């Protein structure tokens, strides 16, 4: 069945069963380009879902008000068919740290982004805070992405691999990427040339998909896990960055144990402790740590 197309200027309410907080989700370090704006007197966010412009705002009774060409794409982006109550039921019982994190951001959801966009963005995230990643993402979009208009506002799609491959590493550095420009440029070249194809990920299990991603220049285990979680819908992927390393060591282990744990041991412990939907637990903990530590 073809996707529903929205009439020009129409705002549609997308049911979200009260389990989505747009502000928490769009500011949780998963996606970096949405900007606050007003449309028809309504406060919300403007950005792109893939190549299409979109406006998002909170609606009544837990709905999302949206103007988008492809309304079902909004549901897919926020994974609104993913039952959060059932996911939370798989978390370890009596985990006071995770309970505190969920209470801090109960409306946080895991996004399902275009895989290329997710991979490219997290290649640029290495050793950078959210505000800096956002600045780089917007610079790349404005310089190399296609301009789109929604409600009188111009937004930009993320540039395709061919555009970044043609731009060259030096031009990417001018967008504030520093040494990360090399990884992004080489990845764009590999995909634009057809030497590699992100569609291959669909036929791989999580471990094989992680290893496949880590063959790209500039992609380590953390970036690969971000792509699996936020781009591929692999709910068990558990990215560990500086924030996550800190919250796990300080809140789950005593002083002696936390110092002895290697990064690999911490990764294995987290994946086992939080279970098959560990990625959801990770995002609650990450957002909680970033906002409160």
Q: Are residues 128 and 202 in the same domain?
A: yes
Residue 222 lies in a domain: yes
Residue 205 lies in a domain: yes
**pLDDT tens, residue by residue, 1-44:** 444 454 545 688 888 777 789 999 999 999 999 999 998 889 99
Residue 109 lies in a domain: no
Q: Return phi, psi of residue 81, to 5°.
A: -90, 0
Q: Are residues 249 and 224 in the same domain?
A: no
**pLDDT tens, residue by residue, 201-239:** 999 999 999 999 999 999 999 999 999 999 999 999 999
Question: Does 117 have pLDDT greater than 80?
Answer: yes
- Mean pLDDT of the residues in the chain: 92
Domain housing 269: 242-292
Q: Are residues 218 and 252 in the same domain?
A: no
What CATH number is given to the structural domain containing 29? 3.30.310
Query: Domain ends where: 40, 65, 97?
Result: 97
Confidence category of residue 141, pLDDT binned at 50, 70, 90? very high
Q: Are residues 222 and 133 in the same domain?
A: yes
Q: Are residues 121 and 224 in the same domain?
A: yes
Residue 131 lies in a domain: yes
What pLDDT is recorded for position 9? 52
What pLDDT is recorded for position 128? 83
Mean pLDDT on 94-110: 95
Residue 4 lies in a domain: no
Q: Are residues 226 and 153 in the same domain?
A: yes
Which residues contact residue 169 at a Cβ distance below 8 angstroms, ignoring those fewer than 6 apart? Answer: 181, 182, 185
Residue 235 lies in a domain: no
Is residue 79 a contact partner of residue 35, using CB atoms and an 8 Å limit?
no
How many whole angstroms separate alpha carbon 141 and alpha carbon 130?
Answer: 16
Q: In this structure, how many other beta carbons lie within 10 angstroms of the beta carbon of residue 239?
A: 25
Q: Are residues 218 and 246 in the same domain?
A: no
Question: Does 292 have pLDDT greater than 50?
Answer: yes
Residue 24 lies in a domain: yes
Is residue 88 a contact partner of residue 102, using CB atoms and an 8 Å limit?
yes
Q: Are residues 191 and 135 in the same domain?
A: yes
Q: Are residues 129 and 204 in the same domain?
A: yes
Query: Domain ends where: 230, 254, 281?
Result: 230
Residue 3 lies in a domain: no
What CATH number is given to the structural domain containing 169? 1.10.340.30
- Extended beta strands in the chain, E state: 12-14, 35-39, 42-49, 52-58, 64-68, 147-150, 153-156
Q: Are residues 62 and 86 in the same domain?
A: yes
Question: Does 86 have pLDDT greater than 80?
Answer: yes
Q: Facing residues of 44 across strands?
A: 37
- pTM of the complete model: 0.93
Q: Domains in the chain: how many in total? A: 3
Q: Are residues 162 and 222 in the same domain?
A: yes
Q: Are residues 22 and 83 in the same domain?
A: yes
CA–chain centroid gap for 278, Å, is 15
Query: Domain ends where: 97, 126, 152?
Result: 97
Highest mean pLDDT among 109-118, 126-135, 149-158: 109-118
């Amino acid at each position: 069945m073809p996707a529903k197309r929205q009439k020009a200027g129409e705002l549609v309410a997308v049911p979200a069963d009260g389990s989505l907080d747009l502000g928490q989700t769009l500011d949780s370090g998963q996606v970096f380009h949405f900007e606050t704006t007003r449309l028809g007197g309504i406060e919300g966010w403007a950005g792109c879902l893939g190549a299409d412009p979109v406006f998002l705002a909170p609606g009544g009774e837990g709905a999302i008000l949206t103007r988008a060409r492809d309304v079902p794409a909004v549901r897919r982006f926020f994974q609104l068919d993913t039952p959060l109550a059932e996911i939370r039921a798989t978390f370890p019982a009596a985990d006071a740290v995770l309970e505190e994190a969920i209470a801090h951001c109960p409306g946080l959801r895991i996004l399902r982004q275009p895989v290329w966009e997710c991979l490219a963005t997290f290649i640029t995230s290495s050793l950078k805070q959210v505000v800096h990643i956002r600045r780089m993402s917007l610079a790349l979009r404005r310089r190399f992405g296609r301009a789109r208009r929604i409600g009188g506002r111009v937004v930009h799609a993320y540039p395709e691999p061919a555009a970044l491959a043609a731009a060259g590493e030096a031009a990417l550095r001018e967008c504030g990427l520093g040494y990360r420009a090399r990884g992004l440029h080489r990845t764009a070249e590999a995909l634009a040339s057809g030497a590699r194809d992100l569609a291959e990920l669909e036929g791989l299990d999580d471990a094989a998909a992680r290893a496949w991603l880590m063959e790209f220049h500039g992609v380590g285990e953390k970036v690969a896990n971000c792509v699996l979680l936020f781009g591929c819908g692999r709910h068990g992927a558990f990215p560990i960055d500086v924030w996550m390393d800190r919250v796990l060591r300080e809140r789950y282990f005593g002083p002696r144990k936390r110092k002895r744990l290697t990064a690999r041991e911490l990764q294995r412990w987290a994946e086992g402790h939080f279970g098959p939907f560990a990625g959801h637990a990770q995002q609650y903990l990450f957002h909680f740590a970033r906002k409160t530590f």
